């Protein structure tokens, strides 16, 4: 198309016939209506099509949305992360409103830690992983709202609050055991399995009578021999319901907030000699007559060794101990073979050739104690076991003056 400047002088420019107005298409936008090129009668300039990159997807038709989207609320995490055991004592902060009550199984985990001392030992006893034990203890601290553990080197130990909660855990778990036992009682006589630990010579004396008492009762006894000093009783109660232990009669009974102890019987401790020993014809001996003897004794911490130390205190002479053995059968054999003399509990002597001499001038006896958790005797099955021990002890001591 030529401009007006290209036309010859005196020549009128050619007339351009206007194009008829094209009606707006249905659905045309307001922007299209405001475009002069679309609404005027002037010739329209053809625009080249806009090139769209092949990798750009066509937009999907979606419902209209608000210009400012509302922020999405993300709930806070409720799970407790596992971590190093050394951080178990961190202050968990105040308890949150709506926290569940402290779970019984978590209280059991805490009690196991108090009994066994390490997370690894608790994990082994409860068939759990150490990380699972740590997590349970962390959750329990959050539920309690106070620190229950604190670092102790590479381990952890109970705080004052933790020790107090262990005592309450004993009460809660004992109450649960009583509830189970009470439900059992509605089905008839006391039933259930009771785990019992006994020192060997006490087991030989009493266990046959206990089992005879329990015949037909429905109570199943699982007995194990545990030859440890009385100081180990709290540890044994982690694995046993009833522990039969022994101590020197002058010592204080084992006890504490987590141990209930009851005296079962008293057994004198005598001097045992070979039949041809120089003192064999005497019915009793005093400590001074034993000052030069060679002794066969037990390991330290047991009642017989306590009496031997008492003899040393009276005579002022340190005893000459040839052997220390905790098996009275072996000690009897050595005494009968003239390897020395020994102190032995009266009802433990079995060798037919040995002579027992009463020890005068020294309180010489051991006391049998039955230890349980506090309130454990309220379980019918355990109460039945304790009664069976009392009956067996009465028969064993009935012939002794």
Q: Which two three-digit tokens encode residue 244?
A: 């039969």
**Half-sphere exposure in the Cβ direction for 99 (13 Å, CA):** 17
State pLDDT tens for residues 66-85. 445 555 554 444 443 333 33
Q: Domains in the chain and their CATH numbers? A: 85-93+100-181 (1.10.10.10), 189-397 (3.40.190.290)
State pLDDT tens for residues 207-247. 999 999 999 888 999 999 998 888 899 989 989 999 999 99
Sort 238 into a burial class: Cβ within 10 Å, 0-12 / 13-18 / 19+. Answer: middle
| Contact criterion met (CB below 8 Å) for 336 and 328 | no
Confidence of residue 189 (pLDDT cuts 50, 70, 90): low
For 276-291, letters b (16+ CB in 10 Å) and e give ebebeebeebebebbe
374 pLDDT higher than 60: yes
Mean pLDDT of 252-262: 87
**Half-sphere exposure in the Cβ direction for 15 (13 Å, CA):** 3
Q: Which two three-digit tokens encode residue 282?
A: 């005497």
Strands (E), 141-276: 149-152, 155-158, 192-198, 219-225, 242-248, 260-273
pLDDT at 267: 96
Global pTM value:
0.62
Measured in whole angstroms, the distance separating CA 109 from the mean position of its chain's CA atoms is 3
Counting every residue written for the chain, the total comes to: 401
Higher pLDDT: 354 or 89? It is 354
- Residues sharing a CB contact under 8 Å with residue 114, sequence separation 6 or more, in sequence order: 158, 162, 163, 166, 258
Confidence of residue 42 (pLDDT cuts 50, 70, 90): very low
Element (H, E) at 194: strand 192-198
pLDDT at 28: 45
User: φ, ψ for residue 5 (rounded to 5)?
Assistant: -70, -20
Q: Which two three-digit tokens encode residue 133?
A: 């034990």
Whole-angstrom distance, CA of residue 362 vs CA of residue 364: 6
DSSP 8-state code for residue 110: H
Confidence of residue 351 (pLDDT cuts 50, 70, 90): very high
- Virtual CA dihedral for 99, 105, 106, 110, nearest 10 degrees? 150
Confidence of residue 364 (pLDDT cuts 50, 70, 90): very high
- Residues sharing a CB contact under 8 Å with residue 390, sequence separation 6 or more, in sequence order: 264
pLDDT at 46: 52
Task: Please count the other Cβ atoms lying within 10 Å of the Cβ belonging to residue 223.
Answer: 17
The per-residue pLDDT of the chain, averaged, comes to 79
DSSP 316-333: ----EEEEE-S-HHHHHH
State pLDDT tens for residues 298-345. 998 899 999 999 889 888 889 999 999 999 999 999 999 999 999 999
State pLDDT tens for residues 108-156. 899 889 988 899 999 988 889 999 999 999 999 988 889 999 988 888 8
Whole-angstrom distance, CA of residue 239 vs CA of residue 356: 37
Strands (E), 249-291: 260-273, 284-285
Whole-angstrom distance, CA of residue 164 vs CA of residue 166: 5
Sort 130 into a burial class: Cβ within 10 Å, 0-12 / 13-18 / 19+. Answer: middle
């Amino acid at each position: 198309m030529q401009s007006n400047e290209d036309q010859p002088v005196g020549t009128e420019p050619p007339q351009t016939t206007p194009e008829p107005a094209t009606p707006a298409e249905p659905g045309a936008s307001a922007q299209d209506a405001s475009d002069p090129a679309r609404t005027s009668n002037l010739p329209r300039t053809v625009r080249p099509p806009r090139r769209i990159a092949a990798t750009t997807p066509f937009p999907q038709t979606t419902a209209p949305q608000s210009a400012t989207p509302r922020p999405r609320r993300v709930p806070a995490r409720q799970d407790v992360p596992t971590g190093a055991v050394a951080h178990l004592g961190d202050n968990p902060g105040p308890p949150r409103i709506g926290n569940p009550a402290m779970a019984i199984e978590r209280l059991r985990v805490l009690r196991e830690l108090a009994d066994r001392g390490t997370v690894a030992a608790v994990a082994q006893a409860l068939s759990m992983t150490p990380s699972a034990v740590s997590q349970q203890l962390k959750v329990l601290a959050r539920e309690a709202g106070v620190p229950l553990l604190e670092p102790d080197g590479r381990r952890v130990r109970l705080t004052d609050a933790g020790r107090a909660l262990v005592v309450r855990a004993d009460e809660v778990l004992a109450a649960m055991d009583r509830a189970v036992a009470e439900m059992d009682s509605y089905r008839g006589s006391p039933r259930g399995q009771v785990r019992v630990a006994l020192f060997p010579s006490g087991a030989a004396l009493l266990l046959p009578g206990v089992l005879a008492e329990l015949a037909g009762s429905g109570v199943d006894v699982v007995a194990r021999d545990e030859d440890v000093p009385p100081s180990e009783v709290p540890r044994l109660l982690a694995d046993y319901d009833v522990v039969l232990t022994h101590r020197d009669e002058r010592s204080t009974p084992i006890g504490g907030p987590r141990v209930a102890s009851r005296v079962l019987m008293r057994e004198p401790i005598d001097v045992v000699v070979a039949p041809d020993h120089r003192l064999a014809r005497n019915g009793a001996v005093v400590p001074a007559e034993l000052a030069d003897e060679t002794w066969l004794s037990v390991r330290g911490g047991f009642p017989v060794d306590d009496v031997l130390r008492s003899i040393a205190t009276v005579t002022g002479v340190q005893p000459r101990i040839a052997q220390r053995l905790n098996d009275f059968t072996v000690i009897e054999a050595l005494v009968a073979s003239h390897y020395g003399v020994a102190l032995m509990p009266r009802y433990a002597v079995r060798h037919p050739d040995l002579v027992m001499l009463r020890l005068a001038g020294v309180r010489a006896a051991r006391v049998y104690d039955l230890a349980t958790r506090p309130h454990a005797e309220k379980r019918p099955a355990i109460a039945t076991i304790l009664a069976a021990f009392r009956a067996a002890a009465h028969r064993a001591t009935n012939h002794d003056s």
